[in-house]
Each structure stands twice: as structure tokens, then as C-alpha cells.
Structure 1
Amino acid sequence: MAAAIQIRDGHGIFDLGHAHVFDGSLQSNIQIAQVGHKMCIEGQISGTSIDTKVALEALKIIPFVQSKVDFTMTVQTLASSWSEIFKKMQEEVALNMSSGRLLGYDVSKLHALLLKNEQFHLVNDNTLSTTFERWDIQTKFSDNIMTVVQSLMCVADWNVSLWGAISSANIQDW
């Protein structure tokens, strides 16, 4: 692991290079600077070959996907107080997974229900899973809203594409 910190003229840079975590590698760069009477925070975190199951279990989240993931997360905020930092924070996350399993759901059954054009409830069932060849996800977080810009899961014979917005009021702990 390599780490570096630079602080000068009201500007701080924190670099973390190639930390071994969750059976993969993590790098980050965070910059903090004063802009007028406000604080500007910008950062990028990227990971390579992170084991999703190990990472989710460490975060006390029941694993819902089993794969190795490469990801990039960018964060920025401009705030005049500590309480504003998270309120004004904007994030973008890109996840790229190759060959894995979505746990608790059978996407083939979902596909059949969608073809019937009937309303249904999506319910997790621990006995089910879907093997995928690739799953790419792009999201944005801002103003307590998570926007799935694109989620494309490639399974054996077809693809599943999802997008939309989720309010943080609708997000529950797993």
C-alpha cells in the first residue's frame, strides 16, 4: 500500500494507491480546498477485482450479487458548513461486473412476467439466482435521490436494461 498527503496554501491532497481490500485493489484521491468562504471537496475512488460478496458482508449488507467488480466513484461538494457537506454532495458510480450471479432472483421468471404485461411484486427468494455474463451499472446520487442512469445485465440469450430514480426515503437497510 502506498499513501501520500500534501497540504499547502489551504489545499489538501490525500492519495491512497493500491490498497489490498476485499480480495482486490483500491486507489483513491481526495482534494480539499477553500473557495471563498466555502470548502470544496472532490474525490475519486476506484477498485479493481473487488469481491462483491466479501465487501457486502463487511458492510453488513446481505449479499445480493456474487462477482468480481471494477468500479469508479467520483464525489464532489461545495459547502459552507460540515452539515452541508453531505446535503450538497454529488456522486457518480460506475460498476462493471463480468460473470457472476444475482442472488435471490430468477431474471428468466421476471422476463416471463414482463411479457404477460401484468403487474407483479418483485420478491427476494434465497433459493433463486441468475447467472450473468456481464453487468454494467451507472448511477448518480444527488439531493437524496439515486438515479440509475443505466443498468445492463447480459444473461445467456438476452439482456435486461433498467433505469430510473429512487428516493433515499424508499431505501431500506437489508
Structure 2
Amino acid sequence: MSPTNLPAGPVHGHVTFLGAGPGDPGLLTLRAVEALANADVLVAEDDVLDVVRVHARQGVAVLNTDSDTSPDPYRNPGTPQLMVVDGTSATVGDPASRDAANLVMTAARGGKRVVRAVSGDPGLDTYAAEEMLACVAAGVPFEVVPGIAAAVGVPAYAGVPLRDAQGA
């Protein structure tokens, strides 16, 4: 049984750190699609939402972690903004006072199956690494679903090899 098919318990849920790749929904792994289909909460930036939303189930709570661009000087920069995918979506907490790690932890502690989607590969994302450490510290189970890093995916799409036949 895969980790996203395990029932989320009342003590804590589960977090999947998902690599959304270079921006093509067709490049998501089968494991990524499975995690998205079973997610209760999806936490992602704007540039990743369109890639992963295709595979998210209807009614998933979607939390957008993009910083607020409001000119209000009293507003906390880096404040995540809530984005709801459809009319039946639920919200998790009050995103105005939480960063992405807190959004992920709050949802997971509430027994939710959380997918934290990042562009490229989660192993190359500084914030995802910090969020993984927060899961470890809190005893929240998590998994990492790799994605294609932009440094490899973009040249491949352009037909530019990163190595030649001589191995240079």
C-alpha cells in the first residue's frame, strides 16, 4: 500500500513533497499523480498550481504560498495567499499568518494528507528541505516524490544534450 493510500489518522496526517518538474503535467510521475489524487490539501506556488491541479481531486483545499504583492507596508512580506480551486474546496486555517511550513504542518497535524508541490525536484528546493526538517522535528511522516529538475528538463526539451559522446 502506498503512503497516500494509508488512512490519515487523528494524531497526524502525512506529507508528500512532490517535484512538479519543469512545468509540463505530462512529466509528473505515476506516484505524483497518485499522491495528488488522494490529497486533502495541496500547498503550492502559482507557477506549480497549473501543473499539478490537472491531477488533484475535486474538493481539495489549495493553499497558494506566493508572497502577497500588496503595496501595504504593514502587511507581512511573504504572506501566503489562499487560492480555492473550486466551489466545494475547504480551507485549512488562516493562511494570512502562516508561512508554507506552518501551512503544511497545521494541515498534517490535523490528520490531512498534504501534498507540498514545488517546481523541479524537492531535493533541490531550500524551502522544501526546511519543511522536511520541520516534519522530522514534529514526528509527522512524509515522503519525497522526485521531479525533473529544470536544469536537466529545459535543455532536454530544447534538444541540447548536457553531455556529448566523448563524455565531456
Tell me: higher relative CO, structure 1 or 2? Use CA pairs within 8 A at least 6 residues apart: 2
TM-score, normalised with respect to structure 2: 0.21
Larger radius of gyration: 1
Q: Which has the higher strand share?
A: 1
TM-score, normalised with respect to structure 1: 0.21
